[in-house]
């Protein structure tokens, strides 16, 4: 029988204090206790720990195994032995021991965490996630980061970020710190950085559901739905009825064009919780993408009924373009805007919605006041340096010289499948996409994120520290890498080509910044630059509240500077790659559709088809702000609509400079 006395207790305390500084002496004290008290639990554990400190791992295993046999009721012994076996790479033995530990004591949080990692290493995702869920239920999230949590609660985000960076400098494997840092990156809409941090977080803790869901959400925000689905599949396997997981799945399927499944999921969520405004909003988005506009309006109205101050729901009605508010709607929005407790996000959405309502009633000064207020508030949340962005755009002119391009002639993947439609937002690019997608040999997809993702990858991975970022890092690209990027692009975009047509459209307007890169990796792809009158395009962007990405669009001056840099960059490519890019002027397309469509198809090496003139009959899924407009025949009313606002557009006109006079003949 084990005896306990003051001397034994004193030796234990002294041994524990020595463990980190003098493991050998700590072990000797533990052995003295065991000599007098065979089977003493605390002394046995301490001796094993002293052996571990001295890298005597096999001896520690022997001690713990004997202790486990002698004290079969002690979960802690099995926990210690399981953790040690895992560190030694004996995963199967470690798993058995840790499962025994949690069988004895289900509240042993650390054992569940270690089991989660062992299951992940064995490729058993369901058990990995289930074990981590048990751990997360036992340990308060971020408990060891109290100073960070307090700073966040007080709104001191910059201070919290500094604390987290300091924590990670000292403990790079702190998954909770990575998660919180990713959350801060996501809040400032740096979703690429957030995804990088969350990927590292999941490498450390592969069973973390909150990190996996946050990563899925970040990838969704980047419009990378094919990467979202595997994460959602895994999350839903763990918790099939989780509302947020199902909602994100519905939104992801909408992006992928699987609107039937998306609508079914979002409708189920809305019916389960009729008072959930977000559920009705998501259903409205899916219905709108499917072209069911009356049902979308009804869903948006249900969202507003659930929460009258929900600015995004009010704005979603305006964003349908063909929708008109009633006087009662306008009165309700004005009333909500007067609330002192209204959040900024709801406020800027309501400002844009009221701007659209006043515009439809030809109250242009009032309309502009609302648009300007909404943009000003939205701009205050964006970290954007207009001069730096313009300089970044124009760095491509230093990279893509005639000599540089001549030395790389013949590079890339020769496939002619992609047709890239580029330009500025609200330039008419969706119209051109819809015309092309109405051809029997061309498939319309969506705004594919692959080329921008490749550009980010080039800047982050190819360029060594100190050698610049994208586009400068293009200089380090090899012929093999250029071809690999082209082939990878075709592989990654294949899931969107459901019809299997010979060609497909990739319409991300801002891909104009990647014109040179596209040329290197896909030399036979078509590139179409859609351009609209700078004042018309600029104001159309100003009155359109973009969800994310168009950071230049919240200021008339910054829109003007961006438009100038865009035209300068594309003029450079006209010089160094003559004929490579086809320019389509929106006004000319509207004025003479048949001639311009024939020109467009000739450039794409496609025979003329009458269906391209009847593009509005194409019922494919369209997810941009122009989704309703491209389902109507071409109309000319919008060409000079900006002139109603001309008295208030002086900042835009000044920033554009001579670009206005040079359009369209010299641009």
What's the 3-state SS for 504-523? EEEECHHHHHHHHHHHHHCC
Q: Work out the average pLDDT over 576-603.
A: 96
Lowest mean pLDDT among 36-45, 326-335, 346-355, 445-454: 36-45
pLDDT band at 40 (very low <50, low <70, confident <90, very high): confident
Q: What is the pLDDT of residue 175?
A: 97
> Over pLDDT 90: what percentage of the chain?
76
Sign of CA dihedral 454, 192, 278, 322: negative
pLDDT single digits (tens) 253-284: 998 889 999 999 999 999 999 999 999 999 99
pLDDT band at 543 (very low <50, low <70, confident <90, very high): very high
pLDDT at position 67 over 80:
yes
pLDDT at position 176 over 70:
yes
Residue 663 in contact with residue 566, Cβ under 8 Å? no
Residue 325 in contact with residue 357, Cβ under 8 Å? yes
pLDDT single digits (tens) 107-118: 999 999 999 999
pLDDT at position 3 over 60:
no
3-class SS at 533? coil
Q: What is the pLDDT of residue 468?
A: 53
Nearest of 187, 182, 184 to residue 214 by alpha carbon: 182
Q: What is the pLDDT of residue 20?
A: 80
The pTM score is 0.84
pLDDT at position 634 over 90:
no
Q: Work out the average pLDDT over 67-72.
A: 88
Q: What is the pLDDT of residue 619?
A: 61
Q: Work out the average pLDDT over 637-645.
A: 89
pLDDT at position 647 over 70:
yes
DSSP β-bridge partners for residue 582 = 528
Q: What is the pLDDT of residue 23?
A: 83
> Over pLDDT 70: what percentage of the chain?
95
Average pLDDT score over the chain: 92
pLDDT single digits (tens) 281-316: 999 999 998 989 999 999 999 999 999 999 999 999
Lowest mean pLDDT among 153-162, 177-186, 544-553: 544-553
Q: What is the pLDDT of residue 461?
A: 53
pLDDT band at 569 (very low <50, low <70, confident <90, very high): very high
Nearest of 137, 133, 136, 140 to residue 234 by alpha carbon: 133
Q: What is the pLDDT of residue 320?
A: 87
Q: Work out the average pLDDT over 629-651.
A: 80
pLDDT single digits (tens) 118-175: 999 999 999 999 999 999 999 999 989 999 999 999 999 999 999 999 999 999 999 9
* Distance of alpha carbon 490 from alpha carbon 357, whole angstroms: 43
Q: Work out the average pLDDT over 632-643.
A: 76
* Distance of alpha carbon 109 from alpha carbon 136, whole angstroms: 8
pLDDT band at 625 (very low <50, low <70, confident <90, very high): very low
- Pairing relation of β-strands 503-507 and 526-531? unpaired
Looking at the structure, give the CATH architecture of the domain made up of residues 386-450+502-662.
3-Layer(aba) Sandwich (3.40)
Q: Work out the average pLDDT over 611-625.
A: 70
Extract the tokens encoding 20.
């980190």
Higher pLDDT, 92 or 11: 92
pLDDT at position 622 over 60:
no
pLDDT at position 632 over 70:
no
pLDDT at position 434 over 50:
yes
pLDDT at position 371 over 50:
yes
Q: What is the pLDDT of residue 466?
A: 44
Sign of CA dihedral 195, 198, 200, 205: negative
Q: What is the pLDDT of residue 29?
A: 83
CB atoms within 10 A of CB 377: 17
pLDDT at position 467 over 50:
no
Looking at the structure, give the CATH architecture of the domain made up of residues 6-138.
Alpha Horseshoe (1.25)
Q: What is the pLDDT of residue 396?
A: 94
DSSP string covering 589-621: HHHSHHHHHHHHHHHTT----GGGTTGGG----
pLDDT at position 1 over 60:
no
Range from 26-35, 184-193, 507-516 that averages highest in pLDDT: 507-516
Q: What is the pLDDT of residue 465?
A: 46
3-class SS at 456? helix
Q: What is the pLDDT of residue 464?
A: 46
pLDDT at position 349 over 60:
yes
Nearest of 524, 534, 517, 576 to residue 423 by alpha carbon: 534
Q: Which residue has the tokens 């002496």?
A: 25
pLDDT band at 30 (very low <50, low <70, confident <90, very high): confident
What number of residues does the chain have? 667
CB atoms within 10 A of CB 365: 11
Range from 18-32, 216-230, 359-373 that averages highest in pLDDT: 359-373
User: Residues of CATH 1.25.40.10 domain(s) within the chain?
Assistant: 6-138
């Amino acid at each position: 029988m084990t005896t306990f006395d003051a001397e034994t207790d004193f030796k234990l305390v002294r041994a524990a204090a020595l463990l980190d500084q003098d493991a050998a002496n700590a072990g000797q004290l533990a052995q003295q206790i065991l000599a007098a008290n065979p089977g003493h639990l605390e002394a046995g554990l301490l001796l094993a720990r002293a052996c571990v400190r001295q890298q005597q791992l096999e001896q520690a295993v022997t001690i713990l195994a004997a202790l486990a046999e002698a004290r079969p009721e002690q979960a802690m012994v099995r926990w210690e032995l399981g953790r040690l076996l895992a560190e030694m790479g004996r995963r199967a033995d470690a798993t058995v021991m840790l499962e025994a530990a949690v069988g004895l004591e289900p509240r042993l949080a650390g054992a569940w965490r270690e089991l989660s990692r062992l299951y992940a290493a064995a490729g058993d995702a369901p058990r990995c996630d289930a074990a981590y869920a048990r751990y997360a239920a036992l340990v308060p999230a971020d408990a060891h980061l109290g100073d960070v949590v307090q700073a966040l609660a007080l709104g001191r985000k910059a201070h919290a970020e500094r604390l987290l960076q300091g924590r990670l400098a000292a403990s790079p494997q702190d998954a909770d710190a990575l998660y919180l840092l990713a959350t801060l990156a996501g809040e400032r809409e740096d979703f690429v950085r957030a995804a990088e941090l969350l990927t590292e977080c999941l490498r450390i803790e592969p069973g973390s559901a909150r990190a996996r869901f946050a990563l899925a959400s970040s990838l969704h925000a980047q419009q990378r739905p094919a990467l979202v689905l595997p994460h959602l599949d895994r999350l839903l396997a763990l918790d099939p009825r989780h509302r947020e997981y199902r909602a994100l799945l519905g939104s992801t399927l909408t992006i992928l064009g699987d609107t039937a499944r998306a609508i079914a999921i979002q409708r189920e969520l809305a019916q389960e919780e009729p008072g959930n405004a977000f559920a009705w909003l998501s259903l409205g988005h899916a219905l709108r993408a499917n072209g069911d506009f009356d049902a979308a309006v009804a869903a948006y109205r249900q969202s507003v009924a659930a929460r009258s101050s929900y600015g995004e729901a009010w704005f979603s009605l305006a964003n349908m373009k063909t929708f008109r508010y009633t006087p009662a709607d306008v009165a309700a929005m004005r009333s909500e805007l007067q609330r002192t407790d209204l959040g900024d996000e709801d406020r800027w959405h309501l400002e844009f919605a009221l701007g659209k309502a006043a515009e439809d009633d030809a109250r242009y000064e009032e309309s502009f006041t609302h648009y300007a207020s909404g943009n000003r508030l939205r701009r205050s949340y964006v970290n954007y340096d207009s001069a730096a962005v313009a300089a970044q755009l124009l760095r491509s002119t230093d990279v893509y010289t005639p000599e540089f391009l001549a030395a790389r002639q013949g590079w890339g993947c020769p496939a002619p499948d992609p047709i890239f439609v580029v330009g500025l937002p609200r330039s008419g690019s969706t119209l051109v996409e819809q015309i092309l997608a109405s051809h029997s040999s061309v498939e319309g997809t969506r705004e594919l994120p692959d080329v921008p993702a490749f550009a980010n990858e080039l800047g982050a991975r190819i360029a060594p520290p100190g050698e610049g970022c994208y586009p400068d890092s293009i200089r380090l690209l090899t012929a093999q890498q250029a071809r690999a990027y082209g082939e990878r692009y075709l592989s990654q975009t294949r899931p969107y080509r459901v019809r299997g047509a010979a060609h497909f459209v990739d319409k991300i307007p801002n891909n104009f910044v990647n014109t040179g890169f596209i040329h290197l990796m896909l030399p036979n792809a078509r590139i179409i630059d859609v351009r609209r009158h700078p004042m018309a395009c600029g104001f159309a962007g100003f009155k359109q509240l973009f969800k994310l990405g168009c950071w230049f669009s919240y200021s008339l001056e910054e829109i003007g500077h961006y438009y100038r840099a865009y035209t300068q960059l594309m003029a450079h490519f006209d010089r160094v790659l003559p004929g490579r890019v086809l320019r389509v002027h929106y006004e000319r397309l509207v004025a003479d559709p048949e001639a311009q469509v024939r020109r467009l198809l000739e450039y794409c090496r496609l025979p003329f088809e009458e269906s391209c003139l009847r593009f509005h009959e194409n019922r494919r899924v369209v997810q941009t702000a122009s989704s309703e407009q491209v389902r109507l025949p071409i109309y000319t009313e919008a060409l000079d609509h900006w002139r109603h606002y001309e008295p208030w557009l002086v900042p835009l006109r000044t920033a554009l400079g001579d670009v206005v006079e040079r359009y369209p003949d010299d641009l």
